[in-house]
């Protein structure tokens, strides 16, 4: 999560002759690049930590028994080099799109991830949209009705939201709303007979809209609702708590009281004054929320046969397919860091007080 | 729970804390936690069957004999749920305690000594924060190989930085307080100063964070077990039992009951943690809890 509300003196940037915002963005960008390397360092270390011999895993037992083949393989793969050199090779390979070969699909990991990513992006975006609307709405409602029974009920709801094991809820919801009630279509991203829309983004809802295929769009949305709702529950709980306390902080400030005193209607005070003031802490927590959605997909997608990163990670984890697992770790880490960088940028733009310590 | 309260009462005065904790949520949470602790403690005597004993009565729905039904190899689900309390709860508590100890120690050292040691510790913490929690735990657990011990190690690695951050910032605030400087002038070395003057005064927010973390730890552990990276069959772990339910989809009882167990325990700990946080810090309540699961 971003380290944000630090307050370095304003003069520092001015003295260096750089616009404070440019300086702030520059530092955040540099830190982001460092973190990206950090993520590769973590996966590299973990890959080398594995007790299982990579040579045997790659060659199979028979070939691994022949010392000549093994030596040749080690030299080819650069395994006879010192670790720092191996790390540089590793990062070089990553940059060239060589993320290793998945042991279960026998396909390059990068290719698998490329196929799976749009599906997860679609699911996570749908879930974050649901959570933003409901979470901030509930949080605001609770803050405006503070210390009433409404506030209490919303508190319990949000605590339930962060307490439910998502992998279990996914199963229960699937069982109730599909197997028993038949309200929603079953697993997958589209009905078996449906043809996927022409690929633009890889997200079926967006692509079908772009192609003007309304029936496909409806089908994709109806498949999306259940898993997105299950995923959203945790982030709704998280956002509700944060939104409530962020709004409470603002609610008693003088400028809000002044807005009320001059007779502005309640909805304008809340919409234009309160919500705007509370926006910065809420945006900060969105990064955390999105991270939890990405991880949540690992536990939820399997149940809905949603062919995304989560299902890929699930089958990789249960079969101990390390290249694939590390690939998922890398891509999720990258996306998460990138997202937090975006939030930092947004944060610096919205709140001029932001400075980097 | 009593330990946490004892720590608090010494610092903040017993009356205020216990009054604040007499909310319906805290009492409900406390009761459910006590209920599950008793179940974990007396599991051997409460459970009607051997949790590992297989039987020809496979996939039986709940009945008078098997209240929660039987699973795919005929084991009694109720007995397995009861035994599961012995796996998840102690491991989660242990994990949180160790994460708190390691994290706050490293955070205190970073905050107190500053400079290079601070940089090293906090940059490692940043690396952990660069991943969503489950993803990193999953990657580590997979690299170490699936077992409960490795799952706990993985969780420890992803959990300590939160404590290090909080403790570090608190120590930074307390480091130059007059009583600390007075202690140093009286001849206390840096470690004595940390132990006697600083740590006791920064402990309560860390303990609140730990209470809030127990629920998260149980969720995380069961999540790893669900992925097959935690408990190895036939260990009756709740997360692994839910995974059995995914394989046997039409037998809803296999997954529903262990899931309810996870839900109630986590909810109870979150009720407690929430009340404790309110009691100690009525303002800026979310400050300590900003981690994605």
Q: Which of B6-15, B195-204, B236-245 is predicted with the least confidence, judged by mean pLDDT?
A: B6-15
The question of ipTM being above 0.95 is answered as no
Residue ranges of alpha helices (H) inside A2-66 are 11-16, 20-49, 54-59, 61-64
CB contact (8 A) between residue B135 and residue A329? yes
CA A46 to chain B, closest CA, distance in angstroms equals: 6
- B7 inside domain: no
The reported pLDDT for the residue numbered B221 is: 92
**Contacting residues for B128 by C-beta, under 8 A, at least 6 apart:** B136, B157, B158, B160, B161
Task: Please give the C-alpha separations between residue A171 and each of A212, A298, B224, B252, in angstroms, as whole numbers.
Answer: 33, 14, 17, 9
Q: How long is chain A? A: 357
Task: For residues B273 and B218, give the distance between their C-alpha atoms in angstroms, rounded to a whole number.
Answer: 14
For residue B216, give the CATH number of its domain.
1.10.3720.10
Closest chain A residue by Cα to residue B258? A168
Quick check: A156 pLDDT over 90?
Answer: yes
- B12 inside domain: no
The residue with tokens 């969720």 is B219
Written as six digits, the tokens of B217 are 């730890």
CB contact (8 A) between residue B215 and residue A337? no
Written as six digits, the tokens of B54 are 């297989």
Which residues from A are below 8 Å from B274, CB to CB?
155, 159
CB contact (8 A) between residue B131 and residue A156? no
Task: Please give the C-alpha separations between residue A6 and each of A154, A354, B154, in angstroms, as whole numbers.
Answer: 31, 7, 31
Task: For residues B47 and B57, give the distance between their C-alpha atoms in angstroms, rounded to a whole number.
Answer: 18
Task: Please give the C-alpha separations between residue B257 and each of A104, A216, B39, B236, B239, in angstroms, as whole numbers.
Answer: 32, 37, 15, 13, 11
- B192 inside domain: yes
Which tens digit of pLDDT belongs to each residue from B149-182? Answer: 999 999 999 999 999 998 998 888 888 888 888 8
Q: What is the mean pLDDT of chain B?
A: 83
Task: For residues B13 and B5, give the distance between their C-alpha atoms in angstroms, rounded to a whole number.
Answer: 10
Task: For residues B18 and A57, give the distance between their C-alpha atoms in angstroms, rounded to a whole number.
Answer: 58
The reported pLDDT for the residue numbered A61 is: 65
Q: Which of A1, A295, A317 comes nearest B142 by C-beta? A: A317
Which tens digit of pLDDT belongs to each residue from A118-137? Answer: 999 999 999 999 999 999 99
**Contacting residues for A82 by C-beta, under 8 A, at least 6 apart:** none
Which tens digit of pLDDT belongs to each residue from A176-190? Answer: 888 778 787 777 787
- B61 inside domain: no
- B175 inside domain: yes
Secondary structure letter of residue A274 according to DSSP: I
- B266 inside domain: yes
Which residues from A are below 8 Å from B263, CB to CB?
163-165, 168
CB contact (8 A) between residue A167 and residue B242? yes
Which residues from A are below 8 Å from B232, CB to CB?
none
Task: Please give the C-alpha separations between residue B128 and each of A1, B117, B125, B165, B220, in angstroms, as whole numbers.
Answer: 10, 17, 5, 12, 15
3-state secondary structure of A28: helix
Quick check: A52 pLDDT over 70?
Answer: no
The reported pLDDT for the residue numbered B263 is: 95
Rounded to an integer, the average pLDDT of A273-296 is 85
Residue ranges of alpha helices (H) inside chain B are 2-12, 14-20, 24-41, 43-46, 77-113, 115-129, 133-144, 148-174, 178-185, 190-193, 199-226, 238-247, 253-280
What burial letters (b/e) apply to B22-51, b meaning 16+ CB within 10 Å? Answer: ebebbebbbebbeebbebbeebeeebebeb
Which residues from A are below 8 Å from B240, CB to CB?
none
Written as six digits, the tokens of A217 are 């769009």
Based on the structure, what is the number of domains in chain B?
Answer: 1
The reported pLDDT for the residue numbered B207 is: 84
Q: What is the mean pLDDT of chain A?
A: 83
Supply the range of the domain harboring residue B144.
17-47+66-289
- B59 inside domain: no
- B247 inside domain: yes
Q: Which of A159, A317, A332 comes nearest B270 by C-beta? A: A159
Q: Which residue has the higher pLDDT, B289 or B166?
A: B166
Q: Is B226 on the interface with A (CB under 8 A)?
A: yes
Which tens digit of pLDDT belongs to each residue from B116-151? Answer: 999 899 989 988 988 888 888 988 888 888 889 999
CB contact (8 A) between residue B135 and residue A245? no
């Amino acid at each position: 999560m971003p380290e944000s509300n630090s307050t370095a003196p304003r003069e520092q940037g001015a003295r260096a002759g750089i616009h404070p915002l440019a300086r702030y963005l520059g530092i955040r960008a540099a830190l982001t690049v460092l973190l990206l390397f950090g993520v590769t360092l973590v996966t590299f270390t973990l890959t080398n930590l594995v007790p299982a011999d990579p040579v045997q895993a790659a060659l199979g037992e028979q070939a691994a028994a022949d010392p000549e083949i093994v030596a040749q393989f080690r030299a080819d793969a650069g395994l006879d080099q010192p670790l720092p050199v191996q790390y540089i090779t590793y990062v070089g390979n990553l940059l060239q799109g060589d993320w290793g070969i998945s042991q279960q699909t026998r396909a390059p990991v990068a290719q698998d991830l490329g196929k799976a990513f749009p599906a997860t992006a679609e699911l996570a975006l749908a879930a974050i949209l649901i959570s933003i609307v409901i979470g901030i709405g509930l949080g605001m409602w609770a803050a405006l009705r503070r210390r009433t029974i409404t506030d209490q009920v919303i508190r319990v709801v949000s605590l339930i939201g962060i307490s439910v094991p998502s992998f279990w809820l996914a199963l229960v919801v699937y069982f109730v709303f599909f197997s028993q009630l038949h309200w929603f279509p079953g697993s997958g991203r589209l009905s078996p007979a449906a043809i996927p829309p022409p690929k633009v983004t890889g997200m079926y809802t967006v692509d079908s809209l772009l192609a003007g295929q309304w029936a496909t769009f409806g089908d994709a949305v109806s498949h999306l609702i259940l898993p997105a709702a299950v995923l959203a529950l945790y982030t709704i709980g998280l956002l509700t708590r944060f939104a409530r306390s962020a709004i409470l902080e603002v609610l008693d400030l003088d400028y809000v009281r002044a807005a009320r005193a001059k007779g502005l209607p309640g909805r304008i005070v809340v919409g234009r004054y309160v919500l705007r003031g509370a926006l910065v802490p809420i945006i900060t927590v969105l990064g955390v929320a999105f991270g939890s959605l990405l991880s949540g997909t690992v536990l939820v997608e399997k149940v809905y046969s949603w062919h995304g990163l989560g299902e890929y990670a699930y089958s990789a984890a249960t079969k101990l397919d390390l290249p694939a697992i590390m690939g998922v770790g890398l891509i999720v880490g990258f996306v998460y860091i990138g997202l937090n960088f975006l939030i930092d940028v947004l944060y610096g733009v919205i709140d001029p007080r932001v400075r980097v310590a | 729970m009593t330990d946490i309260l004892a720590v608090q009462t010494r610092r903040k005065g017993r009356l205020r804390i216990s009054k604040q904790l007499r909310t319906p949520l805290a009492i409900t949470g406390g009761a459910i936690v006590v209920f599950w602790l008793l179940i974990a403690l007396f599991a051997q005597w409460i459970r009607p069957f051997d949790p590992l004993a297989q039987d020809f009565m496979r996939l039986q729905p709940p009945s008078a004999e098997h209240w929660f039904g039987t699973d795919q190899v005929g084991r009694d689900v109720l007995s397995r749920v009861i035994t599961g309390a012995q796996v998840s709860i102690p491991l989660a508590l242990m994990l949180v305690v160790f994460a708190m100890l390691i994290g706050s120690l490293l955070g205190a050292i970073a905050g107190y000594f500053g400079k290079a040691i601070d940089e090293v510790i906090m940059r490692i913490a940043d690396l952990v924060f660069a991943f969503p929690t489950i993803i990193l735990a999953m990657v580590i657990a997979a690299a170490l190989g699936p077992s409960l011990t490795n799952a706990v190690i993985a969780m420890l690695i992803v959990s300590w930085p939160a404590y290090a951050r909080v403790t570090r910032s608190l120590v930074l605030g307390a480091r130059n307080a007059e009583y600390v400087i007075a202690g140093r002038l009286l001849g206390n070395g840096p470690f004595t100063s940390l132990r006697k003057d600083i740590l006791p005064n920064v402990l309560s927010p860390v303990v609140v964070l730990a209470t809030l973390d127990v629920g998260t730890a149980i969720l995380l552990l069961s999540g790893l077990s669900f992925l097959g990276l935690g408990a190895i069959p036939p260990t009756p772990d709740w997360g692994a039992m839910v995974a059995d339910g995914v394989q046997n989809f039409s037998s809803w009882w296999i997954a529903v009951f262990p899931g309810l167990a996870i839900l109630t325990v986590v909810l109870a700990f979150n009720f407690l943690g929430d009340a404790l946080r309110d009691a100690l810090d009525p303002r800026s309540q979310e400050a300590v809890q900003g981690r994605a699961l």
